[in-house]
Chain A
Amino acid sequence: MATFRFKTPVNEADARKPSIGDTVYVSGIMITARDQAHRRALEYVRAGKSIPVSFEGGVVFHCGPIAVKEGDQWRIVAAGPTTSTRMESYEAEFVEKLKPRIIVGKAGMGAKTAEAAKKFGAMYCDFTGGAAVLASQRIRAVKGVEWYDLGMPEALWILEVEEFGPMTVTIDSHGKNLHDIVQGSAQEKRTEILKILGVSQ
């Protein structure tokens, strides 16, 4: 298992290097986006409207932080990943149109995202779910917040990060999906488990 250290913006060739199971750290800019922000971003892009941030070569972070405003500066208190499966219906189009190279979240994503990662050169990384204090320690500054009308968790938070990680690549640009492999293996064991538990079939 290799370790990769990326600095944003990330180019396609570099984004295609890691494989599932590899470790990734990111420095530079990460922008949070959850369901609502994905939905609005795609609505705007489809309508030819501009959005207030650029994801090109960047990192989209499935995260709704706890932030506090101190004077006129925001500080992130806790910022772990949210469950990425909720963004599955948006992500492939998001990757195609807004061109992020790294998606960060937890619990993995599905076949459509994996296909987009392969086609356009992107990866999906797991950061430990719930490890919000660890994550926030790697955030150096809040560079801005957009679409705050969506509420604190759903807004776009523009975060400057240093060595954000360790993250595990669970979807690479070669069509592999680590969560799918684990899930498939659990499904294969099901019959055996039920037998051991004495479940009548």
Chain B
Amino acid sequence: MLVLKELRLHGGFLLEIEETVEKAAVEILRRAVIYLPKDVKEALNDAYENETSEAGKTQLKAIIDNINLGESGKTPICQDTGVILFYVTVGKDFGDASFIPAVLRAAVRKATVEVPLRPNAVHPLTRKNSGDNTGTNMPYINWDIGDGDYIELTAMPKGAGSENMSSFAMLTPGEGASALKRFVIDQVIRAGAQPCPPTIIGVGVGGSADIALKLAKKALFRPISVRHPEPDIADLEKVLLRGINMTGIGPMGLGGTFTSLGVNIEYAYCHTASLPVGVNMQCWAARRATARIHRDGTVEMIS
């Protein structure tokens, strides 16, 4: 903290950039909970056009009406504004980024009052609510290193309905893709109506236990209109989606064609003796927003 203070005295760069990052963080939290990403909205409209079950169509109509009402009234589309997960990529020419955790914490407190967000963060065992969405290790920040003179900041307010349906398994390596497909289909059937379908299914394959789940979450950042760059994985995404939508669980689990809007897979090489697979589900209210903040203080809203 001594270093920060010294730098503040020298030209005020840090003080200004701190304010800018905080403002940008509050803004992406606001955008994330009010406006759904374009790819998700398009997929929901498409589902509404093509859903064959009457019950499913009624649910999709309510979902689309709700999205429109949220946007026009600048109101969070779902009362569960989640726990706040941040993903920060620090450009190599951005400079000192050590102030970011404190600033993001302050931004969450501010957004909780200003947006508003529902105070969701509680102690995991005593269940005591901090009242401001912060606490030990919350908001949680995932770090990455990138190029450029900017940081890229993404907020994902993650609702519990879908997060509670997460799963992980160490599958039999020799079974390969068969084991993966069976696991994903079984998880979708087990989850049923609970993750607020039509869902987006994030699948992380390989790495280690923790990496598979991280990749499953990371997969949810890719727009569902974009397939994995490798054709084999892209095919697997398509095949899994087809299988999931044959379950007939449908919107809100009331029966129908659209159980999921998309399946995104990310993978990492793993030990020859392992096949870790993580599944992270996302509700139809698949909220995320990103801003790029340059060292000179300019802010670009990416999504």
Contacts and interface: CB of A to CB of B under 8 A. Distances in A.
A85 B194 CA distance: 8
Interface in A182-197: 182-183, 185-187, 189-190, 192-194, 196-197
Interface residues of B, number: 58
A132 B77 contact: yes
A154 B122 CA distance: 11
Contacts of A79: 79
A80 B66 CA distance: 10
A9 interface: no
Interface string A113-130: 000000000000010111
Among B79, B122, B194, B239, chain A packs the most CB atoms within 10 A around the CB of B79
A187 B189 contact: yes
Contacts of A133: 66, 69-70, 73, 75-77
B194 A107 contact: yes
B75 A107 contact: no
Interface stretch (B222-230, B242-250, B288-296): B242-250
Given A78-B79, A129-B161, A132-B78, A152 B119 contact: yes
Nearest to B130: A151
Interface stretch (B10-18, B99-107, B148-156, B177-185): B177-185
A57 interface: no
A185 B76 contact: no
A78 B287 CA distance: 16
Contact of A128 (B63, B76, B178, B192): B63
A80 B161 CA distance: 12
Contacts of A168: 55, 58, 254
Interface string B108-125: 000000001111101000
Nearest to B61: A128
A186 B247 contact: yes
B131 A200 contact: no
B285 A130 contact: yes
23 contacts: A66-B79, A66-B118, A77-B76, A78-B77, A78-B78, A78-B79, A83-B160, A83-B164, A106-B196, A107-B194, A108-B253, A128-B59, A128-B252, A133-B75, A136-B75, A152-B119, A178-B254, A179-B253, A183-B189, A183-B192, A185-B255, A186-B249, A198-B181
Interface of A: 21, 36, 63-66, 68, 77-80, 82-83, 85, 106-108, 126, 128-134, 136-137, 150-154, 166, 168, 170, 178-179, 182-183, 185-187, 189-190, 192-194, 196-200
